[in-house]
Chain A
């Protein structure tokens, strides 16, 4: 009987001990701002910062602008920022000046044989946050080049300046409004438009990127100005992605090649018509509408220069990107500010793809999930990835531990439930993307 008692008592004791100890939560990342405080965050930039996507600025997309996403994550890490205010444009967003209708692109139909993408022909929305009694925290102005940051006088020709800066109520320039806001955290992503407009217009409008020397000098001046007005602010800057890897350029040519079309007739910026190999020349998304009208097949009916980025123009755009990025890297390093390598992110997306938690993104048009329907700007999920990569840089550079955006909660592109012809690239209505390059040629050079 002694054995029995021992057995029972031993077993009972073991059970009590084992089952009694409830597991405590495992150690893992703890949200914090490290040794820093963030009471005010301001984002400076262009259309990428504004949250522009699918060829328009509209509130339901601005909600997923990377600055707004970063602001929400900062709050989770203990930042004491107030509401992050943006120049919201009511859905469906701004008008296309050519039609007076909303310029936002949508998937109009997934029907066979060719699904179509275009504006829905809706009346445009209007700005909704215009009564805010202080400058906006998101100072991303669609269309502006680097130089506009310092400009205090001449913003004519860009309708988004009135929307974002409200010059009748507040100081006229971006940096002056930053000074009013007194942020202790700033993200600055500028310079894309100093090459993007050149590329998306097929090297026609403007006819050259901003000169390298001008860009480097301007960039140093921008950061020095910021440092002068806010000596203690934490600053993150983003560099310039290689614009030739965005789906605006990588969709139509390869798709034609897959159908056995290896060259087209096109017009060079010099005015000469030539046979252009699709292996060395890029066609823009706008080329699709031209091709479908029979252009490019015969020398008498070539593709216009504005839809072709020929090999010389590709080299010019890529050289501009790499020298801009060299300037950004050296200016940033000399001033101790954090650098977000947007170029590396896009390169990764374009080569191996970007995966997180089982969700996969690539630079492929529509299907890749990273870009919106204009093929130039990120989708909401793409902006969330930008926000996360910027947060990762802040965490590393400033010893913070800001949680990242759960991309699985960010909406994708609304798609009608109708049938989509399998294997088809959507047809984009002619002229729908015209203001993509109009956008980049506005503002001050």
Chain B
């Protein structure tokens, strides 16, 4: 007789309860003019990027426009630790370059009725650590890409008052790689890939009570993704649940409230408060169809905000811009992890605008993004240490008016 004895816990071979996607992956760089202003743009929204910042802004743009551009993002991240090994060893994240693009078109049917469509990436970025680093069981690579396609309508109700509404079709791709915590030599590696699409909406209002003051508010809804993807193991030992995997992710809602004031004929200042509903991200769960096991990673993000100020000085065909923002991290200390290590951010921005011809203008901006040094202690993933992050961002937009 052969005693059939089964291995009870294949799932134990697998993923540690590790994190799979991290936060702080919101992007607010969707036009070089706004970037130069520290993102304080919702009270004016006076170029085609209004489709992102405040759709009501289109209501005052009585021209047809095509605008396109991109942001080049160069992050530099270093980890010191892990303290669990009583060490302060430095590991530099592999250098990567990200270039989220933006394209907008606007058309006015009349003085009051405006239409626009935009393609941009409100969430993205990624991290890549050395293959054999000490955090390899948590992550070696994470990559999130999203594209939003937003047909938008704006209507000017009367002089100085406009409203706008947009529909957002969103497509997203997530890739996650890590080493599997198994007893074998060599360890297996896991690559998860998810593709999904979903919908959302955005609305905005813009009010100009006088020629000096402009007030704007806008809201973008959550976008809930539910994805079926694949789990690929290398080598593919049959104890692993290779095959389909399921996950879900809700991108947070965000809202802007801004006031712009003209100090003189050629100097405008603006201050914005941006709310981000990150508490939509409480956990990340991946379910493996291969054996029905489920890995849940607690995230417990908190709602947060960004404070933005910007100034723009106009000189003939030139515009000079500067801005600053403070972005409070949604990630609380026990949940900081190397997938996208987050911290409070300070952004320092400068920008230039230049009218090349009567119908063609170019905007460029540079942002120095400094993140506070983040000391992660008593983390739920048992991976404590200190992260240092800074990033340089360059943004260029070209706008053609017709």
The interface of chain A, by Cβ under 8 A from chain B, is: 3-4, 7-8, 11, 14-15, 18-19, 23, 25-31, 110, 112, 114, 252, 254-256, 258-259, 261, 288, 291-294, 297, 355-360, 362, 364, 366-369, 379, 381, 388, 391-392, 395, 401-406, 408-409, 411-415, 417, 419-425
Contacts and interface: CB of A to CB of B under 8 A. Distances in A.
B323 to A, nearest CB: 10
Select the residue from A28, A31, A258, A424 with max chain B CB neighbours within 10 A.
Answer: A28
A220 B348 CA distance: 68
Contacts of A355: 16, 382
A420 B6 contact: no
Contact of B137 (A28, A110, A261, A357): A357
B17 to A, nearest CB: 8
Nearest to A14: B348
B373 interface: yes
Interface in B368-401: 368, 370, 373, 375, 381-383, 385-386, 388, 390
Interface in B124-181: 132-138, 178-179, 181
Contacts of A413: 183-185
A292 B1 contact: yes
A408 B5 contact: no
Nearest to A415: B184
A409 B368 contact: no
A259 B133 CA distance: 41
Interface in B1-24: 1-10, 12-13, 16-18
B375 A18 contact: no
Contacts of A259: 3-6
B327 to A, nearest CB: 15
Given A28-B81, A364-B9, A19 B368 contact: yes
Interface of B: 1-10, 12-13, 16-18, 80-88, 90, 132-138, 178-179, 181-187, 235, 237-239, 264, 267, 291, 311, 313, 315, 320, 322, 348, 350, 368, 370, 373, 375, 381-383, 385-386, 388, 390
Nearest to A369: B183
Contact of B368 (A15, A292, A405, A406): A15
A403 B311 CA distance: 51
B87 A28 contact: yes
Contacts of A423: 6-7, 10
Given A7-B320, A15-B368, A358-B137, A29 B348 contact: no
B89 to A, nearest CB: 8
13 contacts: A4-B320, A23-B390, A29-B86, A31-B87, A110-B237, A255-B5, A258-B5, A292-B3, A358-B383, A369-B181, A408-B134, A412-B186, A422-B7
A367 B132 CA distance: 22
B137 A367 contact: no
Contacts of B370: 18
Contacts of B137: 357-359, 408
A1 B9 CA distance: 74
B238 A422 contact: yes
Contacts of B385: 28
B83 A408 contact: no
A7 B348 contact: no
A379 B183 contact: yes
